[in-house]
Amino acid sequence: MRLLVIEDDPRSAQYLVRGLAESGHVADHVADSATGLAMAGEGIYDVVVLDRRMPGLDGIDFMTALRRRDPQIPVLMVSALGGTQQRVEGLRAGADDYLAKPYAFAEILARIEALARRNDASRRQQVLTLADLSLDMDTRSARRADRDLQLQAREFALLEYLMRHAGQVVTRAMLLEAVWDYDFDPRGNIIDMHMHRLRNKVDRDFEVALIHTVAGAGYCVRAPV
């Protein structure tokens, strides 16, 4: 899993990030809520771990802003404020789970993994649609209008990511991290090659294109106006 830890206390952050790394996960850490909000919106994380008491936006305001951008990304809120009222506030603000500090690492890891499993199951069962294009996560099939699209695994993953961010500009870096799990730009034109093949299958022979190149930025999938 790739996780985002938003925690301003250095010792707490180090403890959690080290434990997650030793458990085989990749954890990015930021110490301020503004940066955390921007990174959480990139669509590359399986779970966000959010400290409630942060400089700038506190956890409640953070959740309100995040849910306007992404209603689905799982968020585990952690806080020294562990009373019933505080837990209810966090959950009502949009957090998927709430854990009081201090916590045992085994418990927070179990909660993170449970959130990731539920989110993964939900994603697999979804049928994504945009105009006359549909992507069935359960059968791993794609269809536009009355035509079945024969997509390779990487093409399917690209289209899924684009459709989950419909209307948004998706950068090359985002695609590399989400589909290839690279945090660097490899040599060659790997994205251009796969996007060319994908566009031929999705848009060729159709009057209206759904996949668009945004010059100098990346790609965007959007429905016709």
Residue 63 has pLDDT above 80, yes or no: yes
| Number of helices (H), then strands (E), in the chain | 8, 12
pLDDT of residue 125: 57
Residue 182 has pLDDT above 60, yes or no: no
C-alpha span between 46 and 40 (Å, rounded): 10
What confidence tens digit (pLDDT) does each residue in 71-106 have?
788 999 999 888 889 899 999 889 999 999 899 999
C-alpha span between 126 and 139 (Å, rounded): 10
Overall average pLDDT of the 47-56 stretch: 90
pLDDT band at 204 (very low <50, low <70, confident <90, very high): very high
C-alpha span between 140 and 127 (Å, rounded): 10
To the nearest whole percent, how much of the chain has pLDDT over 90? Answer: 51
Residue 28 has pLDDT above 80, yes or no: yes
- CB within 8 Å of 23: residues ≥ 6 apart: 109
What confidence tens digit (pLDDT) does each residue in 149-166 have?
999 988 998 999 899 888
What confidence tens digit (pLDDT) does each residue in 110-144 have?
999 999 888 776 565 578 899 999 999 778 899 99
pLDDT of residue 70: 80
C-alpha span between 198 and 22 (Å, rounded): 37
pLDDT band at 220 (very low <50, low <70, confident <90, very high): very high
Contact 92, 64 (CB under 8 A): no
pLDDT of residue 81: 85
Task: Give the single-character DSSP code of 180.
Answer: I
pLDDT band at 1 (very low <50, low <70, confident <90, very high): confident
- Domains within the chain, CATH numbers bracketed: 2-123 (3.40.50.2300), 126-221 (1.10.10.10)
